[in-house]
Chain A
Amino acid sequence: MEAIFKKEFRSYFYSPIGYVFIAIFFFVASLFFSINNLFGGSGDINMVFDNMILIFLFLTPVITMRLIAEEKNAKTDQLLFTAPIKVSSIVLGKFFAAISIFAIAMALTVVYPLLLASFTEPDWGKMISNYVGFMFMGAAFVSIGLYISSLTENQIIAAVTTFGVLFLLYLIDLFGSAVNTVSLFGLDIKLSQVISAISLVAKFKSFSMGVIDIGAIVFYIGIVVIFVYLTVFHIEKKRWSK
């Protein structure tokens, strides 16, 4: 797994992808921070984090699209899958490499609370819960992108599909507030509740309020486990299909 992780992590910087991802992420996030906090004179960083979800929605496909699709396209998967190493180690190595790029981008944003601290005493607890929640949510996003990347040989298709799925997950909250109750088999189901139960973004709300929500963390980890497993499963199934 370490070999794959190292190779994958480095390959983000052999090509411009790693730099582009980090630079755009940091630039746009800083723009929001400047407008909201510096010019707006606010000590509350929540707005920045809320907007960062949107940025990350756009940028996740950039770091996940190539993970498996490119190996398949360049036939380098033949090296990986005939080496004495398990498919799960390969997939996990790739997953953690993508998470690391995400973590680097997040680490840069630590500048914001530090800047705020020079003007006012920020709510450190809230800051920390925001970062914790964001890391876990990001991991869930990445795992979805990883899975979609394993479905195709084409990076563009992987990127577009990943963006579509993540965007849908983001919008699902809006649907929730639009439709209230549906009757199904005589049962009244509150659709908004169902949707908020599966919504990745809604789970983040408690973090932004300063709560480290164990339930939400378990939910995000569950998403990661499911999609990493699905990725491994899909690769194995493809290879062993009869």
Chain B
Amino acid sequence: MIEIKNLTKAYGTKKAIDNISFTVNSGEILGFLGPNGAGKTTTMNIITGYNGATSGTVTVDGLDTVENPMECRRKIGYLPELPPLYMDMTVSEYLNFVFELKKPDLDCEEHLDEIMEIVKIKDVSGRLIKNLSKGYKQRVGIAQALIGNPEILILDEPTVGLDPKQIIEIRNVIRDLGKDRTIILSSHILPEVSAICERVIIINEGKIMAIDTPDNLSAKLSGENKLLIRVEGKEKEVTGALRGVDGISGIECVGEVEEGTCDFVVSAKKGADVRKKVFSALAKADMPILMSKAAGLSLEDIFLKLTTDESKEAKKSKKEEDKN
């Protein structure tokens, strides 16, 4: 559906994005993940035709966005990072204006009604946009992108700055919209991407670091099974009790969270399930396990691993963060 080929955008000598290529399939929700300044917004601005690229091409349904800008723009609904709202207008005035601007071949009243129903802003349609809460502004921004029923939605950080309840609501809206549309969504919040997206592109400093499903990324990069346990007892005693257990390749103490306990990451050899053995070994030593969970790499770990040169350092700093 969307094909991006060798796209580069340079501001002076600094390259905001550097020779990136990927395709977006019809009907999928693609997550665009990266730290601030990675080039997410730049890429989206180029796809939507707001900015030009230094080199490379973007094609939408086989049409080049530079050669056929009008046709391409009609297929794309764009919600920029800051929703492009006119604060002095009421919600319905604003949506009417966007409708007139995009001039889709639809019945205005019916179409706007439908959209306001989808994003649930009917009850504020008569209010001035400047008086709306951030969550509602974001919804009006999404409504604006939906006008003209574009097949593709590009949402730049749609949940940034919202409260947890609003985030869940917006996510549900996006998930619903994704049922019959292609969506590209950018975010630096990882659980969000893994919750909504079918495929993830991780981008850093203008380069693509990985493209895959969230699950595959996790499996590919974690390599070995890890178990995170919290045991009552002293560090040395616990390591001593676990040393003899078959199948364990490493034990690492990651600190003390509750008083009198220690947290450990127990690494198992490939394919081995050490949970039962760890349980019986510690039970024998009379050291109760207070908590146990699989410590597979979360998207956050993957993200740090991919976006930091020395992954070990990143992990260390992350652990320190966890401690705090």
B14 to chain A, nearest CB (A): 13
* Stretch of B94-102, B178-186, B276-284 with 4 or more beta carbons under 8 angstroms from chain A: B94-102
A136 to chain B, nearest CB (A): 29
Q: Which residues of A contact B49 (CB under 8 A)?
A: 81-82
Q: Is B233 an interface residue (CB 8 A)?
A: no
CB contact list, B32-81 vs A, under 8 A = 45, 48-52, 54, 69-71, 73-74, 76, 78, 80
Q: Which residue of A lies closest to B87 (CB)?
A: A74
A83 touches B52 (CB 8 A): no
Tell me which of B48, B52, B84 contacts A240 (CB under 8 A). B52
Tell me which of A3, A84, A240 contacts B74 (CB under 8 A). A84
Tell me which of A14, A81, A241 contacts B88 (CB under 8 A). A14
B209 to chain A, nearest CB (A): 25
A83 touches B102 (CB 8 A): yes
B97 touches A3 (CB 8 A): yes
B89 touches A14 (CB 8 A): yes
Interface centre among A74, A75, A82, A85 (most CB of B within 10 A): A82
B70 to chain A, nearest CB (A): 5
Cα–Cα, bound, A240→B76 (Å): 19
A75 touches B84 (CB 8 A): yes
A3 touches B85 (CB 8 A): no
Q: Is A118 an interface residue (CB 8 A)?
A: no
A4 touches B88 (CB 8 A): no
Q: Which residue of B lies closest to A4 (CB)?
A: B101
Q: Per-position contact with B for A76-87: 1 when CB-CB < 8 Å, else 0?
A: 111111111100
Q: Which residue of B lies closest to A238 (CB)?
A: B51
CB contact list, B1-43 vs A, under 8 A = 10
B98 touches A79 (CB 8 A): yes
Q: Which residues of A contact B73 (CB under 8 A)?
A: 82-84
Residue tally, chain B, CB below 8 Å to A: 30
A5 to chain B, nearest CB (A): 10
B10 touches A239 (CB 8 A): no
Cα–Cα, bound, A78→B144 (Å): 12
Q: Per-position contact with B for A207-242: 1 when CB-CB < 8 Å, else 0?
A: 000000000000000000000000000000001111
Q: Which residue of A lies closest to B84 (CB)?
A: A79
Tell me which of B50, B54, B86, B89 contacts A78 (CB under 8 A). B50
B78 touches A78 (CB 8 A): yes
Q: Is A2 an interface residue (CB 8 A)?
A: yes
Q: Is B82 an interface residue (CB 8 A)?
A: yes
Interface centre among B45, B51, B101 (most CB of A within 10 A): B101
A240 touches B51 (CB 8 A): yes
B64 to chain A, nearest CB (A): 15
Q: Which residues of A contact B70 (CB under 8 A)?
A: 84-85
Whether A82 touches B76, Cβ cut-off 8 Å, given contacts A14-B88, A76-B86, A239-B51, is: yes
Q: Is B103 an interface residue (CB 8 A)?
A: yes
Q: Which residue of A lies closest to B94 (CB)?
A: A7
Whether A82 touches B78, Cβ cut-off 8 Å, given contacts A7-B97, A14-B88, A240-B52, is: yes
B13 to chain A, nearest CB (A): 12
CB contact list, A69-104 vs B, under 8 A = 74-85
Q: Which residues of A contact B71 (CB under 8 A)?
A: 84
Q: Is A15 an interface residue (CB 8 A)?
A: yes
Cα–Cα, bound, A241→B98 (Å): 27
Tell me which of B48, B85, B88 contacts A82 (CB under 8 A). B48
Q: Which residue of B lies closest to A86 (CB)?
A: B70
A242 touches B10 (CB 8 A): yes
Q: Per-position contact with A for B81-121: 1 when CB-CB < 8 Å, else 0?
A: 01011111100000001101111000000000000000000
Tell me which of A2, A14, A78, A241 contacts B84 (CB under 8 A). A78
Q: Which residues of A contact B48 (CB under 8 A)?
A: 82
Q: Which residues of A contact B10 (CB under 8 A)?
A: 242
Closest 4 CB pairs of A and B: A3-B100, A79-B84, A240-B52, A14-B88
